[in-house]
């Protein structure tokens, strides 16, 4: 009699979910399904370049079928996980699982198709091109990288960056924030720290800050962090596994606490480390290993443990040639760190990880 295949369901085809799927979907003992809200995988760290050069996005938005040929893929939102070990979707599907992996990261863009996402980048580009003054709200890596892209490609534009915190890039060192501040101000960016902008009450290009100041700009981009992609989990059997921040609590093997057959990876987990894509990819590889072991009937005690990253590491690109690198508490800015990231933004490398041409 043919052996019954194990049913593995992955919810979320972002940075972590896509790599897990690629590593795992052809396993011969597995019946595999990916559920993702979007029909495509998006290389998030290339998005800001695509806003100043929309054609760049053609390599960074990848239909799931392209790197998972023949796989079962459902483009829909997961909305329920029930006692019968089924995931339900908004498209009214119920998918039963033996093993489930949750990788719903952060709420990002809501464009379901690649063509809609490309149109969004075109619209962002038009917005930048037709504006003289551009307001960026948020001085984390996204806001800083967007400011860098704009001042390098459009040096005549006036960029204003407002950040709620007392320094830029608060997730890494003070020195890093200072160096980036100097880099931006040297390129005529007006950086306003310690204030927030109420975008809902802005009108006709006039924005008010929390301290009552007025900022004028022709357009704005909101670069503050997105909510965690776990609101849907609040209605499921995992509702008690969310911590106070809405993150799924996992054990050292990245299994959701209290569930032997449900794993979670990437930004949606409570792993105590920065939420970064390269770490999400490490989670994916650990879970691919553990799933393989369990499916092949291996000893649970031999599952791989994940060790959270103890020191922060980041490369923040500053336009096409320069970057700020923060590695093992050392900060460097300029062309040398730029050589690592800023030209291709790891797009070739990420595509290769998915078995595609760079
Ligand atoms: C602009 C930007 C730049 C960045 N730069 C870097 C960088 O340089 N280096 C770095 O290491 N990290 C970077 N990051 C962080 C990195 O992108 C995240 O850490 C990473 O995306 C997390 O991966 P993930 O798989 O957990 O989640 P995500 O990549 O957010 O993927 C989540 C997936 O789940 C899907 N989903 C969500 N809810 C549901 C649902 N209910 N049902 C079905 N599907 C669902 C989404 O459609 C998405 O495909 C950057 C992030 C941004 C936004």
Parse the chain into domains and list their residue ranges.
6-37+76-108+226-302, 132-223+312-344
- The rounded distance, in Å, linking the Cα atoms of 133 and 220 is 9
Helix (H) or strand (E) holding 61: strand 61-63
2: Cβ contacts below 8 Å, ≥ 6 apart: none
Query: Helices marked H in 32-173 — which ranges?
Result: 47-52, 64-67, 114-129, 141-153
Mean pLDDT over 166-177 rounds to: 96
- The rounded distance, in Å, linking the Cα atoms of 160 and 192 is 8
Closest CA to 8 of 104, 97, 102: 97
Question: Residues 210, 89: contact at Cβ < 8 Å?
Answer: no
- The rounded distance, in Å, linking the Cα atoms of 8 and 127 is 43
C-alpha of residue 106 to centroid of ligand 1, in Å: 6
pLDDT in tens, 222-276: 999 999 999 999 989 999 999 999 999 999 999 999 999 999 999 999 999 999 9
Q: How sure is the predictor about 1, in pLDDT bands with cuts at 50, 70 and 90? A: low
Q: What fold characterizes domain 132-223+312-344? A: FAD/NAD(P)-binding domain (3.50.50)
203-209: long-range contacts (C-beta < 8 A, 24 or more apart)?
Answer: 207/135, 209/162
Instruction: Please check the confidence at residue 311 and state whether its pLDDT lies above 90.
Output: no
DSSP 55: G
Which residue's CA is the nearest one to ligand 1's atom 23? Answer: 15
Distances (CA, A) of 184 to 5, 57, 318: 55, 25, 9
pLDDT in tens, 179-228: 999 999 999 999 999 999 989 878 889 999 999 999 999 999 999 999 99
Instruction: Please check the confidence at residue 24 and state whether its pLDDT lies above 90.
Output: no
Pocket of ligand 1 (CB under 6 A): 11-17, 35-38, 44-45, 47-48, 77-78, 103-106, 108, 141-142, 229, 232, 266-268, 275-278, 280
Sign of dihedral through CA atoms 215, 216, 217, 222?
A: positive
Q: Which residue reads 């690649």 in tokens?
A: 114
Question: Tokens for 70?
Answer: 């023949």
CA dihedral 347, 348, 349, 354 (to 10 degrees): 90
- The rounded distance, in Å, linking the Cα atoms of 323 and 143 is 14
The CATH superfamily label for domain 6-37+76-108+226-302 reads FAD/NAD(P)-binding domain (3.50.50.60)
Buried b (16+ CB within 10 A) or exposed e, 60-83: bbbebeebbeebebbbbbbeebee
C-alpha of residue 339 to centroid of ligand 1, in Å: 24
- The rounded distance, in Å, linking the Cα atoms of 254 and 309 is 14
Q: How sure is the predictor about 21, in pLDDT bands with cuts at 50, 70 and 90? A: very high
pLDDT of residue 63: 98
Assess whether the region 6-37+76-108+226-302 and the region 132-223+312-344 belong to the same CATH fold.
Answer: yes
Q: How sure is the predictor about 316, in pLDDT bands with cuts at 50, 70 and 90? A: very high
**Ligand 1 nearest atom to the CA of residue 17, by list position:** 25
- The rounded distance, in Å, linking the Cα atoms of 166 and 102 is 35
Closest CA to 106 of 168, 14, 172: 14
- The rounded distance, in Å, linking the Cα atoms of 136 and 154 is 15
pLDDT in tens, 106-135: 988 889 999 999 999 999 999 999 999 999
Mean pLDDT over 33-61 rounds to: 98
pLDDT of residue 2: 61
Which residue's CA is the nearest one to ligand 1's atom 38? Answer: 104
């Amino acid at each position: 009699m043919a052996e019954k295949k194990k049913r593995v369901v992955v919810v979320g085809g972002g940075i972590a979910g896509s790599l897990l799927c690629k590593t795992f979907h052809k396993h011969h003992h597995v019946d595999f399904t990916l559920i993702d809200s979007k029909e495509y995988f998006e290389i998030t760290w290339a998005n800001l370049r695509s806003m100043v050069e929309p054609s760049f996005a053609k390599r960074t938005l990848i239909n799931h079928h392209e790197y998972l040929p023949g796989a079962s893929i459902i483009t829909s939102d997961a909305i329920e996980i029930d006692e019968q070990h089924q995931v339900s979707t908004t498209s009214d599907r119920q998918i039963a699982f033996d093993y489930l992996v949750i990788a719903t990261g952060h709420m990002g863009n809501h464009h379901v198709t690649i063509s809609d996402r490309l149109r969004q980048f075109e619209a962002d580009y038009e917005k930048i091109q037709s504006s003289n003054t551009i307001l960026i709200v948020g001085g984390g890596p996204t806001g800083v990288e967007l400011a860098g892209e704009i001042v390098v490609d459009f040096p005549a534009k006036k960029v204003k960056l407002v950040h709620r915190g007392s320094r830029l890039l608060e997730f890494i060192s003070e020195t890093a924030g200072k160096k980036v501040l100097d880099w931006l101000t040297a390129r005529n960016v007006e950086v306003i720290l310690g204030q927030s902008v109420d975008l809902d009450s802005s009108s006709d290009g006039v924005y008010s800050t929390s301290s009552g100041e007025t900022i004028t700009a022709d357009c704005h981009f909101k670069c503050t962090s997105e909510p965690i992609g776990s609101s849907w989990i609040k209605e499921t059997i995992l509702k008690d596994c969310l911590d106070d921040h809405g993150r799924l609590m996992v054990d050292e093997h990245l299994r959701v606490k209290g569930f032997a057959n449900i794993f979670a990876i990437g930004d949606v987990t409570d792993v105590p480390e920065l939420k970064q894509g390269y770490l999400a990819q490490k989670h994916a590889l650990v879970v691919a290993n553990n799933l393989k072991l369990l499916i092949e009937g291996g000893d649970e005690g031999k599952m791989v443990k994940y060790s959270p990253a103890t020191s922060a590491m980041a490369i923040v690109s500053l336009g096409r040639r320069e970057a700020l690198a923060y590695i093992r508490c050392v900060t460097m800015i300029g062309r040398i760190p730029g050589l690592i990231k800023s030209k291709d933004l790891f797009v070739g490398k990420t595509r290769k990880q998915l078995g595609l041409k760079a």
